[in-house]
């Protein structure tokens, strides 16, 4: 067991990062998502699209074998990193084509024990400001775990799940590659199939957690017909390229959108609530 807790650098963040919230880069994400042409007609950035920005400028030589930035030697026993949930509160949307600053810190860190052994659960807190005003407050929950045997997905179900809202989609390798490029995510499980299957033991390329969260948020917004400012989401199980997935959900009596990504075998991949 590692005697040293994970650091902000191990989590892949710097204490402060600056970026311009470029409309052009937002449009690249919109194209990747097949978003409606009018999605960026205003002057502000849609909810969760800030994940395109503030990418670390890490030289290729400083990346680890998985494509993530090299971590401290104490983390070698926990090589697999996953983004398993988070909470985002938008006090005011980010203005397009304006500079922004993100400050980050470790909010909590704990050693846990699961079915595959010990793992670190790390929560990173971010604040994103423009012109001195905090626009977005966010927490990201990350897991660092040792390599282990993964539960294989079951066979595809023939019928879609029962829900008020249902949409089917398949994340193919082209979508995963484009999203990796848009978010500057070099984690090889999303685009390098021999690595994903032969080294990390997945059955195919892994769909990004942030991609699933954005798709769910956009799905809930589109079906509910309204914008949201608060999001919470939790990943339940990985899902994979080239297999069906359903976006499902409903709107609650208080207007909250409760949406879930359901894998081809019927397992829940991610839940997201927007209010």
pLDDT digits (tens), the chain, 275 positions: 445 788 998 888 999 999 999 999 999 999 999 999 899 989 999 999 999 999 888 889 988 888 888 888 888 888 888 899 999 999 999 999 999 999 999 999 999 877 667 889 999 999 999 999 999 999 999 998 887 666 678 788 878 899 999 999 999 999 999 999 999 999 999 999 999 999 888 999 999 999 999 999 999 999 999 999 999 999 999 999 999 999 999 999 999 999 999 999 999 999 999 99
The values of phi and psi at residue 24, to 5°, are -60, -45
CATH architecture, domain defined by 16-274: Roll (3.10)
Q: Is the dihedral of CA 235, 236, 238, 243 positive or negative?
A: negative
What would the DSSP string read from start to end of 91-130?
Answer: SSPPBTTSEEEEEEEEEEEEEEEETTEEEEEEEEEEEEEE
Q: Is the dihedral of CA 107, 53, 26, 178 positive or negative?
A: negative
First to last CA, the chain: 40
Number of Cβ within a 10 Å radius of residue 142: 21
Instruction: Find out whether 242 and 173 touch, Cβ atoms under 8 Å.
Output: yes
């Amino acid at each position: 067991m590692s005697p040293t807790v994970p650091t902000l650098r191990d989590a892949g963040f710097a204490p402060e990062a600056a970026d311009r919230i470029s409309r052009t880069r937002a449009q690249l994400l919109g194209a990747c998502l097949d978003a409606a042409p009018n999605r960026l007609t205003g002057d502000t950035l849609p909810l969760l699209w800030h994940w395109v920005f503030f990418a670390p400028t890490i030289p290729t030589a400083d990346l680890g074998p998985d494509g993530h930035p090299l971590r401290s030697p104490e983390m070698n026993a926990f090589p697999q990193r996953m983004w398993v949930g988070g909470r985002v509160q938008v006090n005011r949307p980010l203005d397009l084509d304006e500079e922004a600053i993100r400050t980050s810190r470790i909010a909590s860190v704990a050693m846990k024990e699961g079915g595959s052994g010990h793992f670190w659960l790390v929560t990173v807190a971010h604040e994103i400001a423009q012109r001195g005003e905090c626009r977005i407050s966010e927490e990201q929950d990350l897991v660092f775990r040792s390599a282990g045997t993964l539960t294989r997905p079951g066979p595809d179900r023939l019928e879609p799940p029962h829900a008020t809202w249902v949409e089917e989609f398949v994340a193919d390798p082209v979508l995963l590659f484009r999203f990796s490029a848009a978010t500057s995510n070099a984690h090889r499980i999303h685009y390098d199939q021999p690595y994903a299957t032969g080294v990390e033991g997945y059955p195919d390329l892994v769909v990004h957690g942030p991609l699933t969260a954005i798709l769910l948020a956009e799905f809930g917004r589109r079906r509910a017909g309204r914008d949201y400012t608060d999001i919470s989401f939790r990943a339940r199980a990985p899902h994979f390229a080239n297999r069906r997935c359903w976006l499902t959900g409903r709107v609650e009596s208080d207007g909250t959108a409760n949406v879930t990504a359901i894998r081809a075998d019927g397992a829940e991949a991610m839940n997201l609530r927007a209010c």
